Structures are given as C-alpha cells and as structure tokens.
C-alpha cells in the first residue's frame, strides 16, 4: 500500500494520498489549507489517478481545499452526514477566536461549499475504491460526524482524523463536540481495533494500536471504565 502524506496549512493537518501502488488509482484524505500543490506533486511523482476525496470530519483545517481538489479532479467527496453542513458553514465547528482568525486568513478565491458530487457515508459502511477495501467507522465526540477509515490488509491501516493521535485524542470543547460521545467512541470503536493496526492520525506522527493501548493515558482511562477527559 502506497501512503504519502504531508502537513498542510498552519495547523499542519495531515493530508494523505493513498493507493495500492504507484501507477494506479488513488484516494485523497483530508485536503487541508494549501494542500492542492502537494497533492499534485505526489500524484505526478507516482503516476496516480485520483478517484475520490474523503474527509475524516468537517473541521475546516481538514477540508479547506475539498472544493477545489474535488472539483479540479472531477471526483466525488465523501463525508459523514452529520458533518456535511460544515462544508457550507465551516465557522460553525470552531471557537470564536478561531473563527475570527479564519476571517483574516481567507483569500478572495477561497470557496467553502459542497463539491458538486458530495456523498454521505454511514457507520460500518464497507467500501472499495482504487482497489482498496475499507470500512467506515463512525466515532463521534470530536465532531458528531467524525469517522475512521479502516483499510484492510495483512496489517490494517486506520486513518483516525482527530479522534485518536499518537499519545492523545481530539478536543471535545468545540461546538458540536461531546466528551460523553468521545468516551463511547474510544471504548466501543478505538479500543476494538486490532493491536496490529497502524494508526494514521489527522495531526502528528503515525502510531500503532499496541503502543496506544499500552501508553495512551486517555485510552487507559477509558479501558478502566473512567472518562478520558
């Protein structure tokens, strides 16, 4: 499995381009601010053909470039229905301070709207794109529409967005967030991932579930029946 990533924008949001191998179709996950040139470079270097963009959730740092990327390549965008409204109203999912900062950052040609071909995914939906099989896992808490993409293989590759980081979890103090939902998602979704699973989060370095289950203090608390937060 070919996985290429880079940190996009001031939040250094991990944008991923994944494919079975070079010279094949590919999927783009979480195209953040200013990610289009980096995506184009990876596609050119490995002779890839984009067929879909996918969002782990609707926060603006993960979907800033979803409209130009999806429209530019003429490909569909996938998002959980509970976060779809954020494509048109990105300020609804952030703090007042961040919203004010966004107003200063936005250029005149930034477009925040649903791509023409926007498709909703649901919990436990099994999909196959670009020759890759994966399952959508709904894991609300950071946002109501947060999802994981669990790609099958000899070792599963799980793209966790802002639900799970290396040694940490996503914030639950933003509009639409819920500490209670996060606890449930960590207990029923994240902790049920196989120990061998590789973790590719929305920010920071990759990890694996063996490490996270043994050392992530938030998961350790939930495993004991306590609240992660």
Q: Does residue 76 lie in a domain region?
A: yes
CATH of the domain at 18: 3.60.15.10
* Assigned domain for 186 exists: yes
The string of pLDDT tens digits covering residues 37-50 is: 999 999 999 999 99
Two structure tokens written together for 100: 């004010």
Q: Residue 228 contacts by C-beta under 8 Å, 6 or more apart in sequence?
A: 169, 179, 182, 183, 186, 218, 219, 221, 222
pLDDT at 108 over 90: no
* pLDDT over 70 at 160, yes or no: yes
DSSP string, 157-226: EEEEETTEETTEE----STT--HHHHHHHHHHTGGGS-TT-EEEESSS--EEHHHHHHH-HHHHHHHTTS
Q: What is the pLDDT of residues 114-146, one digit of tens each?
A: 999 999 999 999 999 999 999 999 999 999 999
* Structure tokens given for 104: 């200063």
Give the confidence band of 88 by pLDDT, cuts at 50, 70, 90: confident
Within a domain: 178: yes
Q: Is residue 12 part of a domain?
A: yes
- % of the chain with per-residue pLDDT over 70: 93
Predicted local distance difference test score (pLDDT) of residue 102: 66
The reply to whether 53 falls in a domain is yes
The answer to pTM > 0.75 is: yes
- Is residue 209 a part of any domain in this protein? yes
Q: Alpha-carbon distance 225 to 229, whole Å?
A: 12
pLDDT digits (tens, 9 = 90+) for 68-85: 999 999 999 999 999 999
Position of tokens 């499995």? 1
Whether the pLDDT of residue 25 is over 90: the answer is yes
User: Residue 107: which pLDDT band, with cuts at 50, 70 and 90?
Assistant: low
- Is residue 229 included in any domain, yes or no? no
Does residue 116 sit within a domain? yes
pLDDT(97) > 90:
no
Which has more pLDDT, 105 or 167? Answer: 167
Count: domains in the chain? 1
Residues 130 and 51: beta-carbon distance below 8 Å: yes
Structural domain for 202, as ranges: 2-223
């Amino acid at each position: 499995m070919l996985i290429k990533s880079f940190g996009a924008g001031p939040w250094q949001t991990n944008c991923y381009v994944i494919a079975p191998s070079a010279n094949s179709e590919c999927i783009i996950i979480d195209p953040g601010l200013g990610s289009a040139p980096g995506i184009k470079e990876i596609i050119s270097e490995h002779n890839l053909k984009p067929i879909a963009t996918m969002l782990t959730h609707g926060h603006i740092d993960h979907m800033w470039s979803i409209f130009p990327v999806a429209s530019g390549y003429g490909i569909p965008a996938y998002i959980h229905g509970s976060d779809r409204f954020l494509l048109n109203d990105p300020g609804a999912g952030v703090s007042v301070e961040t919203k004010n900062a966004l107003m200063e950052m936005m250029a005149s040609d930034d477009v925040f709207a649903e791509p023409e071909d926007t498709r909703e995914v649901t919990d436990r939906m099994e999909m196959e794109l670009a020759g890759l099989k994966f399952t959508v896992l709904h894991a609300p808490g950071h946002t109501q529409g947060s999802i994981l993409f669990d790609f099958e293989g000899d070792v599963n590759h799980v793209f966790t967005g802002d639900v799970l980081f290396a040694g940490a979890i996503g914030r639950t103090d933003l509009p639409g967030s819920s500490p209670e939902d996060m606890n449930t998602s960590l207990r029923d979704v994240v902790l049920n991932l196989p120990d061998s699973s590789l973790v590719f989060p929305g920010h920071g370095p990759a990890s694996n579930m063996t490490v996270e289950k043994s050392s992530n203090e938030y998961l350790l608390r939930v495993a004991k029946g306590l609240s992660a937060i």
